[in-house]
Amino acid sequence: MAVIRIGILGASGRMGRLLIREVAAGKGFALSGATEAKGHRAIGQDAGVLAGLFRLGVAVSDDAAALMAASDVVIDFTLPAVTVRHAKLAAKAGTAMVIGTTGFAPAEVKAIAAAARRVPIVQAPNMSLAVNLLFALTKRAAAVLDATYDISISEIHHREKRDAPSGTALALGAAAQAGRKKKGKPAKIPMVSIRAGDTAGEHTVLFAGEGERLELAHKATSRQVFARGAVFAARWVKGKPPRLYDMADVLGLG
């Protein structure tokens, strides 16, 4: 089996370091490079040491274009505007991409879709395999339960998360609305967001009817599950035709 060369964008961030660890530990992967913004203090450091591992012999650089050229797939958990720049570079280089960044503006969404016309891109608001199964279960529950069941979503994340509601909560809302539309009445879904402590991520979808309620919930106890799912997606997307994919495609849930 050919080794998949994976590059990590935003190497010094919380997710960047976890991604480096996941690639280093995985079979059939090689860390092709890691980047940070120009002037960042991580530039020149060994990526393995930066991630709390042994030396990997891969120095962190500020050259995203060179990383694209050296990689089969790049993974990006940075910031929306930065991710858009990276997507344009990936499209130019012909490099597949996995995007875990959330909080995009409409124009940024269009820019990523344009890049996906030239290279395969997996984009998802949450890379956890179990959360993506939760999307499918939510859609199914909304399709089965009628409009007498009120739907609401709550989510909790660490205090540093910038977007609220989370991308995952919005995706759960979209899944519920898609299911409810099958019954002819799209749902208006209230959402509650809490930012506190170091919570990796908790999401609950509540279906409340007369005399009963159904709760579908997911709790991430470690952010490593997001890195694991992203690397899983990177293995899957290599060699796929240009298109914008999501984790439902990766998991065969579509």
CA distance linking residue 10 with residue 1, whole number of Å: 28
Considering 40, 88, 158, 161, which one is annotated as catalytic? 161
CA distance linking residue 195 with residue 193, whole number of Å: 7
* Cβ-proximal residues to 27 (8 Å cutoff; 6+ apart), any chain: none
List phi, psi (to 5°) of 98. -120, 125
Q: Are 20 and 47 in contact (CB under 8 A)?
A: yes
Q: In terms of DSSP bridges, do strands 120-123 and 191-195 run parallel, antiparallel, or are they unpaired?
A: unpaired
**Which tokens go with 41?**
């203090």
Considering 139, 157, 203, 218, which one is annotated as catalytic? 157
Residue type for position 75: I
Look up 161 and say whether it is catalytic: yes
Q: Are 67 and 1 in contact (CB under 8 A)?
A: no
CA distance linking residue 4 with residue 242, whole number of Å: 18
What sign has the CA pseudo-torsion 121, 127, 132, 133? positive
Q: Are 233 and 250 in contact (CB under 8 A)?
A: yes
CA distance linking residue 217 with residue 152, whole number of Å: 12
Alpha helices in 94-246 (DSSP H): 106-115, 129-144, 167-181, 224-237
Look up 157 and say whether it is catalytic: yes
Q: Hey, how many other C-beta atoms are within 10 angstroms of the C-beta on 52? A: 10
Q: Which residues are catalytic?
A: 157, 161
